[in-house]
Amino acid sequence: MSGKPKTLLIITQVYVPDPASVGQHIADVAKEMVRRGWRVVVYTSARGYDDPSKRYPSRECLDGVDVRRLPLSSFGKRSIPIRLLGQACFMVQAIALGLFTRRLRLVLVSTSPPFAGIGGTVLSWLRRVPLMWWVMDLNPDQMVVSGKLSPRSLVTRAFDWMNRVTLRRSRAVVVMDRFMRERVIAKLNVSEKIHVLPPWPHEDVLKAVPSRPNAFRDEHGFGDRFVVMYSGNHGIQTPLETLLEAARLLEERQDLLFVFIGGGVGKHDVDRRIAEGAKNIRSLPFQPLSRLGTSLSAADVHVVSLADSAVGVIHPCKIYGAMAIGRPVLFFGPEASHVGDIFRDGDIGRIVAHGDVQAAVAAIRELVSMGQDGREAMGRRATGLVSESFSSIGLLGRFCDILDEASRDSR
């Protein structure tokens, strides 16, 4: 019995091949822990996160990871009650199955679904094993800053109580940036066990290559136009209104194309502009990880957005893909943010405040006029920062070291 590998159980509503970045990063961790000699079991949803019509195999082995997909775990994102119902069903199933997981030594949960923290806490307590909490975004904070919940509502207070219980139970807590750390510690002072570790770009599929020639450009008829691209989830906390208004003012520029790839509630604004007759906007669905390098490299400039109120609540993960691919970044959001910190380390693009449409237009015109050489210089600085501070080898290794230590720590 002693010679059999110990088991790491990961509970996440999203996992590969679903294109959501949460699942891709968790898959990196799972694969690395298998390489380190762990038996890794993942409980995840049988349906797509953004598109519940997509169905995945109920059980399969991916890169040595035992992936088990649970039914009735996602009913789409049409409304908050529908999402909460799917999340609750998923967690009940995951906890029930976790009670019988063999040789369990450690539980890892993220914040997808938001109930995962308290679910992992219950399972950790019942099985008497350590818990590690990977905080990728904060709830109820997201709901509060989006205006969907009052700061003093019963739901808000219940969520914060669950957060505090999870923080107490967790052997280790990983957050994305220093702003998120401040928000978490404000809920409960866990400074002795909290780690700041940003997510890593998938450098194996993200290479700094020219935007022309490019198969994705050819497939979608971009031609030689200058492409301003937003790729990822279109969420409430990643507003695109200023960019869309800038696109409206630049509609006469035949050499410009604004491309929006992904899904989410904010995608409706993009599709509405197209329905209204916008000729310089293109809307495309999420791209699989295998095509991410080609799709991202089709852009001349990448857009990252973060609502002022969302600093420390969600993390602007999209910036790493843009940096790894060697493209300038057009950031819509406050300078006092994680992206602002990165910009202070090197000139890799331009920052525009939300609502300042004229500044957005000026920034886009400047990025066009600086020419290919100027943009490539920005791109080289971006890839240099990835190598120095955000490489997947370094960050993934550190994350898995924290997992290993959490399983050994007997406090």
Q: What is the CATH number of the domain that holds 74?
A: 3.40.50.2000
Residues 145 and 21 in one domain: yes
Q: Is 75 part of any domain?
A: yes
Residues 298 and 371 in one domain: yes
The pLDDT of residue 1 is 41
What pLDDT tens digit does each residue of the chain (411 aa) get?
457 899 999 999 999 998 788 899 999 999 999 999 999 999 999 988 767 788 999 999 999 999 999 997 766 566 667 777 778 889 999 999 999 999 999 999 999 888 899 999 999 999 999 999 999 999 999 999 989 899 999 999 999 999 999 999 999 999 999 999 999 999 999 999 999 999 998 766 666 677 788 889 999 999 999 999 999 889 899 999 999 999 999 999 999 999 999 988 889 999 999 999 999 999 999 888 778 888 999 999 999 999 999 999 999 999 999 999 999 999 999 999 999 999 998 899 999 999 999 999 999 999 999 999 999 999 999 999 999 999 889 999 999 999 999 998 644
Residues 139 and 157 in one domain: yes
Residues 259 and 303 in one domain: yes
- Which residues neighbour 388 within 8 Å (Cβ) at sequence distance 6 or greater? none
The pLDDT of residue 84 is 76
Residues 11 and 107 in one domain: yes
Q: Is 1 part of any domain?
A: no
- Which residues neighbour 102 within 8 Å (Cβ) at sequence distance 6 or greater? 7
Residues 354 and 397 in one domain: no
Residues 122 and 228 in one domain: no
The pLDDT of residue 76 is 59
Residues 347 and 404 in one domain: no
Longest dimension (CA), the chain: 71
Residues 23 and 162 in one domain: yes
Q: Is 148 part of any domain?
A: yes
Q: Is 268 part of any domain?
A: yes
Query: Which residue from 38, 97, 98, 90 is spatially nearest to 63, judged by alpha carbons?
Result: 38
The pLDDT of residue 230 is 97
The structural domain count of the chain equals: 2
Residues 266 and 301 in one domain: yes
Q: Is 206 part of any domain?
A: no
Residues 121 and 239 in one domain: no
Answer whether 310's CB lies under 8 Å from 237's CB: yes
Residues 267 and 375 in one domain: yes
Q: Is 43 part of any domain?
A: yes
What domain range is 221 assigned to? Answer: 215-389
Q: Is 210 part of any domain?
A: no
**How would you class 1 by CB atoms within 10 Å of its CB: exposed for 0-12, middle for 13-18, buried for 19 or more?**
exposed
Q: Is 56 part of any domain?
A: yes
